[in-house]
């Protein structure tokens, strides 16, 4: 059976006598990228005469080519034009590799030798033009002659970097698996700055300390907490710092450096929930949906972030080991805050019993533990449920006592009985190099001992004390999550 290969850019090699050269990947360079790439065609041998193997290699080359085009276009039209112009100028030796910009070229602005060299280079490029290209207006053309002609009149200089591009550089450099969350955090701050500057995509060089102080004052007038204002300003300070280093823009001034906050601005930090607060919530959490109730118990007894608990899968739960625990790892669509957030957290006996009662059949452990809240915006829905519950228990205080306060409570309990560097491993605050003991059983056992001591000293070892809320709700919990 003869295999017929019909792919858009797959071309047979030239015929040489009775045989052919290897198959080729051949396509025209898109018009907007011709000047940047300095050629009209992408023409690459696939290194094989076998049609089936050529088919396979075609997709590899095509994917790389498309990715290359995408990367070039992501720079923006201004950057592409600059790259193309400097490339042709440097190829003729009328601009050095070290130069970032060049002024107009005329007998009045440059030495005669340089002017003559420039004219010779332009004539060389002119000889390469087709009749159709010769008829094109210079200002609409992107061939090498047109680029040199425009540079002769106006010079060339790097395009001013703008806020959107700077944010993308920052996210590429810093985000890792936490891309979505970090982008959201930065965009909230950028939105405030855009309003102050009255430009949706301002040049970084045009943002001044005066703009930053106005942004700060606006956030204060909106009643934002001190920590929130520091985070918003800090996000944009980091964007400026990263782009200065990555793009070698050492002359760019970072207007977010050394911006002080008003002295009398309230801290606005979240408070811990007291043991009495947590007791008050138990009857109310038992009235919530089973997933929210289970998450609440996990938040109390693990100190994990709500987003970490919401995105757990059943395969992340180890119940049949000497130290039952949950594994918090980064995964596709399930980022963690930092690399150091990857960890294993021991489970209290109550949690082991609770999760054992809900665990699905052994062959189906890849599913989400909390499908209602496992999607990206699930934590917002969970927060609404838990806040409503805390209000019913008369515990909630705006910006002070919120669901996230359980994490602060757990930290307080653990820090009464152990060094900070150890409790940081429970709560995912250590850097990646501090997490070297992540996989050691003895270290997990030590963390379990710390948590037991912390719960005992805080008076929560017997949580949930009167077992009534769990007992009353147990039947619907089991119905919601069938046992194996």
C-alpha 330/C-alpha 428 separation (Å) is 12
Structure tokens at 453: 């001591």
| Residues 123 and 168 placed together within one structural domain of the fold | no
Question: Is 63 within a domain?
Answer: yes
| Residues 301 and 379 placed together within one structural domain of the fold | yes
The residue among 299 and 336 whose pLDDT is bigger is 299
Beta carbons of 209 and 255 less than 8 angstroms apart = yes
Beta carbons of 448 and 456 less than 8 angstroms apart = no
Range of the domain at 345: 275-480
Give the pLDDT band of residue 15 (cuts 50, 70, 90): confident
Beta carbons of 12 and 63 less than 8 angstroms apart = no
Number of domains in the chain: 4
Beta carbons of 236 and 187 less than 8 angstroms apart = no
Which pLDDT score, from 0 to 100, does residue 70 have?
83
- Beta pairing, strands 15-16 & 10-11: unpaired
Which pLDDT score, from 0 to 100, does residue 341 have?
81
C-alpha 272/C-alpha 371 separation (Å) is 28
Over range 28-48, report the average pLDDT: 85
Beta carbons of 348 and 469 less than 8 angstroms apart = no
Question: Is 261 within a domain?
Answer: no
| Residues 114 and 238 placed together within one structural domain of the fold | no
The residue among 370 and 331 whose pLDDT is bigger is 370
Which pLDDT score, from 0 to 100, does residue 477 have?
41
Which residue, 104, 132, 154, sits at the end of a domain? 154
Over range 218-240, report the average pLDDT: 90
C-alpha 310/C-alpha 368 separation (Å) is 9
Structure tokens at 245: 């280093």
Which pLDDT score, from 0 to 100, does residue 478 have?
38
Which pLDDT score, from 0 to 100, does residue 481 have?
42
Structure tokens at 49: 């005469």
Which pLDDT score, from 0 to 100, does residue 470 have?
43
Is the whole-model pTM more than 0.85? Answer: no
Which pLDDT score, from 0 to 100, does residue 67 have?
86
Three-class secondary structure of residue 15 per DSSP = strand
Which pLDDT score, from 0 to 100, does residue 105 have?
93
Answer whether residue 364 shows pLDDT above 90.
no
| Residues 185 and 108 placed together within one structural domain of the fold | no
Beta carbons of 280 and 395 less than 8 angstroms apart = yes
C-alpha 484/C-alpha 475 separation (Å) is 15
Beta carbons of 259 and 209 less than 8 angstroms apart = yes
Answer whether residue 202 shows pLDDT above 90.
yes
Question: Is 3 within a domain?
Answer: no
**How is the beta sheet containing 343-346 ordered, strand by strand?**
317-318, 325-328, 343-346
C-alpha 412/C-alpha 272 separation (Å) is 8
Average pLDDT, the chain: 86
Which pLDDT score, from 0 to 100, does residue 111 have?
93
Question: Is 313 within a domain?
Answer: yes
Give the pLDDT band of residue 474 (cuts 50, 70, 90): very low
| Strand spans (E) along 147-197 | none
Answer whether residue 267 shows pLDDT above 80.
no
| Residues 344 and 200 placed together within one structural domain of the fold | no
Angle subtended by helix axes 378-392 and 275-285, to nearest 10: 100
Q: How far is CA 313 from CA 161, 213, 266, 363, 482, in A?
A: 42, 45, 39, 13, 15
pLDDT one-digit tens code per residue, 389-428:
999 999 999 878 999 999 999 999 999 999 988 899 999 8
The residue among 209 and 249 whose pLDDT is bigger is 209
- Beta pairing, strands 15-16 & 317-318: unpaired
Beta carbons of 142 and 84 less than 8 angstroms apart = yes
Residue with tokens 């008050």: 280
C-alpha 147/C-alpha 141 separation (Å) is 8
The residue among 463 and 82 whose pLDDT is bigger is 463
171 contacts: CB under 8 Å, gap ≥ 6: 179, 182, 183, 186
Give the pLDDT band of residue 440 (cuts 50, 70, 90): confident
Which pLDDT score, from 0 to 100, does residue 337 have?
62
Question: Is 94 within a domain?
Answer: yes
Structure tokens at 277: 């607060």
| Residues 228 and 339 placed together within one structural domain of the fold | no
Percent of residues, the chain, with pLDDT higher than 70: 88
The residue among 228 and 482 whose pLDDT is bigger is 228
Give the pLDDT band of residue 318 (cuts 50, 70, 90): very high
Q: 415-426: b or e for each residue (b if 16 or more CB lie within 10 Å)?
A: bebbeeebbbbb
Over range 440-456, report the average pLDDT: 92
Answer whether residue 62 shows pLDDT above 50.
yes
| Residues 326 and 182 placed together within one structural domain of the fold | no
| Residues 225 and 307 placed together within one structural domain of the fold | no
C-alpha 267/C-alpha 114 separation (Å) is 63
Q: 288-303: b or e for each residue (b if 16 or more CB lie within 10 Å)?
A: bbbbbbbbbbbbbbbb
Over range 41-60, report the average pLDDT: 91
Q: Which of 37-46, 160-169, 316-325, 332-341 has the lowest mean pLDDT?
A: 332-341
Strand partners, 15: 20
Which pLDDT score, from 0 to 100, does residue 363 have?
62
Which pLDDT score, from 0 to 100, does residue 2 have?
52
Which residue, 107, 134, 154, sits at the end of a domain? 154
C-alpha 288/C-alpha 214 separation (Å) is 43
Which residue, 49, 74, 99, sits at the end of a domain? 74
pLDDT one-digit tens code per residue, 167-181:
989 998 887 767 777
| Residues 141 and 197 placed together within one structural domain of the fold | no
Over range 461-484, report the average pLDDT: 53
Over range 340-368, report the average pLDDT: 87
| Residues 63 and 212 placed together within one structural domain of the fold | no
462 contacts: CB under 8 Å, gap ≥ 6: none
Question: Is 267 within a domain?
Answer: no
Question: Is 317 within a domain?
Answer: yes
| Residues 388 and 299 placed together within one structural domain of the fold | yes
- Beta pairing, strands 15-16 & 19-20: antiparallel
C-alpha 272/C-alpha 404 separation (Å) is 9
Question: Is 253 within a domain?
Answer: no
Answer whether residue 471 shows pLDDT above 50.
no
C-alpha 305/C-alpha 298 separation (Å) is 10
**In CATH, what number is assigned to the domain containing residue 344?**
1.10.443.10
pLDDT one-digit tens code per residue, 82-130:
888 999 999 999 999 888 889 999 999 999 999 999 999 999 999 998 8
Three-class secondary structure of residue 325 per DSSP = strand
| Residues 63 and 193 placed together within one structural domain of the fold | no
Over range 330-342, report the average pLDDT: 68
């Amino acid at each position: 059976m003869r295999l017929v290969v019909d792919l858009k850019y797959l071309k047979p090699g030239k015929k040489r006598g009775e045989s052919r050269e290897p198959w080729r990947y051949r396509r025209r360079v898109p018009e907007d990228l011709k000047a940047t790439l300095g050629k009209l065609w992408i023409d690459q041998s696939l290194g094989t005469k076998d049609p089936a193997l050529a088919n396979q290699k075609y997709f590899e080359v095509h994917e790389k080519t498309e990715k290359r085009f995408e990367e070039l276009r992501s720079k923006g039209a201004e950057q592409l034009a600059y790259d193309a112009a400097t490339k042709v100028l440097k190829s003729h030796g009328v601009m050095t590799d070290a130069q970032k910009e060049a002024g107009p070229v005329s007998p009045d602005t440059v030495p005669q030798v340089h002017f003559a060299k420039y004219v010779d280079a332009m004539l060389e490029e002119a000889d390469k033009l087709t009749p159709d290209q010769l008829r094109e207006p210079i200002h609409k053309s992107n061939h090498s002659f047109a680029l040199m002609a425009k540079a002769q009149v106006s010079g060339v200089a790097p395009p001013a970097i703008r806020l959107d591009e700077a944010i993308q550089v920052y996210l590429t450099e810093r985000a890792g698996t936490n891309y979505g969350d970090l982008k959201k955090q930065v965009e909230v701050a950028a939105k405030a700055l855009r309003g102050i500057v009255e430009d949706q995509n301002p040049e970084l060089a045009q943002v001044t300390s005066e703009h930053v102080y106005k942004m700060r004052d606006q956030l204060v007038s909106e009643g934002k907490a001190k920590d929130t204002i520091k985070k918003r300003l800090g996000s944009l300070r980091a964007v400026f710092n990263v782009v200065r280093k990555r793009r070698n823009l050492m002359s760019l001034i970072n207007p977010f450096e050394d911006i002080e906050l008003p002295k009398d601005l309230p801290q606005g930090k979240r408070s811990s929930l007291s043991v009495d607060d947590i007791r008050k919530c138990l009857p109310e959490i038992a009235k919530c949906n089973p997933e929210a109730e289970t998450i609440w118990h996990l938040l109390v007894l693990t100190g994990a972030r709500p987003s970490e608990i919401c995105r757990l899968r059943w395969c992340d739960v180890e119940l049949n080991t000497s130290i039952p625990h949950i594994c918090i790892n980064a995964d596709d669509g399930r980022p963690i805050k930092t690399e150091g957030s990857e960890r294993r957290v021991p489970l209290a006996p109550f949690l082991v019993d609770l999760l054992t009662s809900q665990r699905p059949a052994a062959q189906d452990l890849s599913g989400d533990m909390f499908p209602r809240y496992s999607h990206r915006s699930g934590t917002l829905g969970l927060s609404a449920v838990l806040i409503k519950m805390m209000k019913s228990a008369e515990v909630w205080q705006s910006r002070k006592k919120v669901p996230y306060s359980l994490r602060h409570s757990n930290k307080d309990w653990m820090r009464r009985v152990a060094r900070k560097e150890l409790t940081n491993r429970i709560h995912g605050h250590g850097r990646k190099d501090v997490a070297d003991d992540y996989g050691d059983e003895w270290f997990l056992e030590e963390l379990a001992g710390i948590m037991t001591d912390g719960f005992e000293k805080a008076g929560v070892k017997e949580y949930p004390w009167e077992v009534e809320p769990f007992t009353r709700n147990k039947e619907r919990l089991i119905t919601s999550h069938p046992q194996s």
